[in-house]
Structure 1
């Protein structure tokens, strides 16, 4: 018995956003014709040898394989994201609930899979095929091709297209000197104020992780916690313990930056805030500086590469802490500043523009999460790497997540009733773009 399926009934409902690409018969027939022409041309130039004929099929074949892999990995994500958005509109908030899929994900070689994906996306796409591939991607993931700085034919590979720059003026930076702007295009997942030495960031309702586990052993953050502890008059025994602990971890940075310790001790008490922003595959993939600041330290944590979509955040424990990430840490006019760029499945490679030689997701015999992160202290002229608001900092190969942790004037007015407190100007679930204000404060 032969089974026949109607073309009007989709086998996979979550492929509906990609359907118009597959169902266009004229495009398919045109593609096959061009594919044959390319293959025959390659064979004639080489004298018809079997070696050259294989090479003629290699690039188009790899491109098709890349697109198929892309569909398998992301079509389900589109379907899940749609369900999440519908639930959010109804006021339903998902709670943390591990499932069998989360357990299965831990057994998969996601780092190796991501390296294979990186290899495929670096293959050169035939010039005649580039506009069709990139437009298909843009339709599926809602990318705005009109913002691209170059014509589509100029992007030699999928990776070049993913990390493309934008036309000048597409992302104006908020000119207000008392504003902190978004470093990426994305969706606001969480934000708020961190209170207390053991402050926690909520991953999803029902599960949180500590700031120190995300950023690592941060001498700057420890000194700030010590300063705030002193200002709040905590008992002397606890105060001396924190000071002794801070002395050991601060030793390396204090040699490079003798003025930093003095700066931290003299600044008034500040509040500590955080903001989590998720980048979808179709978003602009570059990370920009949210303020004028000095980057003092870089830490690279080798880790897993779980997906970072909404489903993963509510089913995988310590998602952001376990995943591969690069943390930049330093100081700005209001105190401490840190940016954590977190890798995900197929996004193991995080390109850091201020340190091009840094390589992430490198092959390793065994991944030990107890290993300390690879750390580098930036020391040009003793002030670190200076970045201005809006400067390019890094890039992801696809979508991912960025976590900001920063100091700003506390949310509660001080005793003299000044109005200098920092206030977020965003809501959970908002779509935001590079250069738009995350929050503002007033000069006291």
Structure 2
């Protein structure tokens, strides 16, 4: 009976039944099938060291370049949200200034407390800026918003080789994150429950925000399996309150490789990637061109391991 249900689901949401790692009859529930792993080799990872790959299977909703942490990302025409609200008050991106970034914003459309422990700390923070990080004027900040449809593969992989320094969990709402909701719910991504991983890679800052959706805020971290999300009664009193874990050793964090599985959703949702990438020299008109270029555009479908963008070797 269960395989028939999974086949019906796959037909409705266009899932590829040739990819699951297990035979259909071995999945004990629809949820287990939903968060299925894939056969080895199903998602080859682009080996180019000068590219950043997609962490998920999904649809590109938005992408572009930002001037700094206070820059607004346009959710949809008329609705925008600051990247600082998405990532959290203690993000190391926050004290970067417009001069530090030296780039113009471009887009493509469709109260603090801490409790220190030996290996982690938790804080509930209000939105103020700290943890200054100086960003090279030869680097820009870019972002990409990816939506996972219900039929998509729902595990999250690393877009680059990097060190994860911090994890933040925002116990927010569980509004839907489908394209209709994106058009109608203001501040959708900064109001919903989400988990943010932040750290450094060879080109600078990088962060991944995994945003929960209706009834399925449950986000699982392979690198921190004890984390519990979508807990009854855990709604934050303030949309920017969160608990934070600093991965030890501080300043080194947890090393992950490009393509390595790091998390999973229990239902369709959204992933936002914010990252630094190389900029080229200033043009004569005072603007800055970028060596980095996106390989995708808004509306494109992309899979884990396929390049989001590339840059030339300096």
- TM-score scaled to structure 2, two decimals? 0.85
Aligned-pair RMSD on alpha carbons?
A: 2.4
**CA deviation string 1:388-434 (max 9, x = no partner):** 00000100011100001111112x53479x99711001111001000
> Hey, which of these two has a bigger chunk of helix by percent?
1
> What's 1:177 paired with?
49
> What's 1:293 paired with?
162
> What's 2:311 paired with?
441
* 1:330 match: secondary structure: strand
Q: CA deviation at 1:370?
A: 4.7
What CA distance in whole angstroms lies between the structure 1 residues aligned with 2:146 and 2:137?
A: 28
**CA deviation string 1:160-201 (max 9, x = no partner):** 111111111110000111010000000000000012452110
Aligned pair partner of 2:35 in 160, 163, 167: 163
Asked which structure has the greater CA Rg, the reply is 1
Uncovered stretches (5+) of structure 1, i.e. residues with no partner = 1-128, 233-246, 251-260
What CA distance in whole angstroms lies between the structure 1 residues aligned with 2:142 and 2:234?
A: 38
- TM-score scaled to structure 1, two decimals? 0.61
> Hey, which of these two has a bigger chunk of strand by percent?
2
**CA deviation string 1:267-286 (max 9, x = no partner):** 55310111000000000000
List aligned pairs for 1:224-263, cutoff 5 A.
224-225=96-97, 228=100, 249-250=130-131
What CA distance in whole angstroms lies between the structure 2 residues aligned with 1:370 and 1:346?
A: 18
* 1:313 match: secondary structure: helix
List aligned pairs for 1:30-69, cutoff 5 A.
none
Compared with structure 1, are the counterparts of its residues 353 and 216 closer, same or farther at alpha carbon in structure 2 (3 Å cutoff)?
same
List aligned pairs for 1:277-316, cutoff 5 A.
277-316=146-185
Q: Does 1:199 align with 2:68?
A: no
> What's 2:11 paired with?
139
What CA distance in whole angstroms lies between the structure 1 residues aligned with 2:6 and 2:138?
A: 50
Compared with structure 1, are the counterparts of its residues 184 and 371 closer, same or farther at alpha carbon in structure 2 (3 Å cutoff)?
closer
**CA deviation string 1:257-298 (max 9, x = no partner):** xxxx8xx55855310111000000000000000000000010
Would the aligned equivalents of 1:190 and 1:428 in 2 still touch at CA under 8 Å? yes
Compared with structure 1, are the counterparts of its residues 325 and 366 closer, same or farther at alpha carbon in structure 2 (3 Å cutoff)?
closer
What CA distance in whole angstroms lies between the structure 2 residues aligned with 1:320 and 1:248?
A: 20
Q: Does 1:432 align with 2:302?
A: yes
> Per chain length, whose mean CA-contact separation is higher, i.e. which structure has more relative contact order (CA < 8 Å, sep 6+)?
2
Would the aligned equivalents of 2:69 and 2:83 in 1 still touch at CA under 8 Å? no
Aligned length: 287
What CA distance in whole angstroms lies between the structure 2 residues aligned with 1:338 and 1:344?
A: 19
Compared with structure 1, are the counterparts of its residues 156 and 198 closer, same or farther at alpha carbon in structure 2 (3 Å cutoff)?
same
* 1:146 match: secondary structure: coil
What CA distance in whole angstroms lies between the structure 2 residues aligned with 1:311 and 1:419?
A: 34
* 2:274 match: secondary structure: strand
* 1:221 match: secondary structure: coil
What CA distance in whole angstroms lies between the structure 1 residues aligned with 2:98 and 2:283?
A: 21
> What's 1:413 paired with?
281
> What's 2:93 paired with?
221
What CA distance in whole angstroms lies between the structure 1 residues aligned with 2:289 and 2:207?
A: 25
Compared with structure 1, are the counterparts of its residues 212 and 186 closer, same or farther at alpha carbon in structure 2 (3 Å cutoff)?
same
> What's 2:116 paired with?
none
Aligned pair partner of 2:59 in 187, 202, 210: 187
Uncovered stretches (5+) of structure 2, i.e. residues with no partner = 104-127
Aligned pair partner of 2:237 in 361, 365, 368: 368
What CA distance in whole angstroms lies between the structure 1 residues aligned with 2:136 and 2:34?
A: 41
Question: Which aligned segments of 4 or more residues in structure 1 are displaced greater than 4 angstroms?
Answer: 264-268
Would the aligned equivalents of 1:343 and 1:349 in 2 still touch at CA under 8 Å? yes
